[in-house]
Amino acid sequence: MLLPVVLAVLTLLVPGSGSLASPSPDNPAAASQIIVILAVGACFMGAALTVRDLVGEKEIYERERAAGLSPVQYLLAKVGVCGVVVMVQSAVLIAPLIARGLPDHGLFGSSTLEILLAIMLTAWSSACWGLLISASVRSPDQVMPALVVLVMVQLVLCGGVITVNGRPVLEQVSWSFPARWGFAAVADVVNLRALNPTATADPTWRHEGPTFAVALLLLVILGACAVALVLPLLRRVADER
């Protein structure tokens, strides 16, 4: 639970007088920097939560599987518990931003709830990918390098650090990562182009309800795809046993 607290403090360290509700004359990129911390931080929280789960419980799972435990039930239990935990973590992560300033209205209602939903789904989707890493590695020692690579790739491809829109291959690869759509969802809610005129004209940052809904839907799809890939790996463990 200390991880979201540390990440929340980092959002307060972004220089400038602006926030996600108003532009910053002394740091035009402040809003983009805050959203990068939110999106990549959510991915880190989610992946770190689950990346050791399956590989760490491998022997226990093998015994329980032999006793009749269903891989589907086991996996869905993991996914469900992760959903509850990331909900709490996401609330902690965005709490300081409420004091710093959030838009009065969102695309459908409360901007606070919309940003919370975007961060929560980003963390949950990354948690599902953490489960995939955990099911793929052979030992806990292999977890940390894979986690570092996953987080660093998402930092680069989220769209807030370098321009990915309009760059062939790079743009298409970025669509596969939760940070890309988590960043886009928050950018939609706060109208990033108005807060940071220097930001690139990314079509996923349109401050429109349908664009926001598509970003959330893709986060759910990415998480579901990761879960679908984990299931045959769990069955393989049982077969090898």
Q: Where are the domains of the chain?
A: 2-11+28-240
Q: How far apart are CA 97 and CA 21, in angstroms?
A: 10
pLDDT (0 to 100) of residue 210: 94
pLDDT (0 to 100) of residue 13: 85
Q: How far apart are CA 166 and CA 164, in angstroms?
A: 6
* Residue pLDDT tens, the chain, 241 long: 788 889 888 888 888 766 788 887 778 888 888 999 999 999 999 999 999 988 888 888 888 888 888 889 999 999 999 999 999 999 999 988 887 778 888 899 889 999 999 999 999 999 999 999 999 988 888 899 999 999 999 999 998 888 898 889 999 999 999 999 999 999 999 988 888 887 777 899 988 999 999 999 999 999 999 999 999 988 875 555 5
Instruction: State the Cα angle at 136 between 134 and 141, rounded to 5°.
Output: 60
Q: How far apart are CA 53 and CA 63, in angstroms?
A: 16
Q: Which residue has the tokens 């760059």?
A: 167
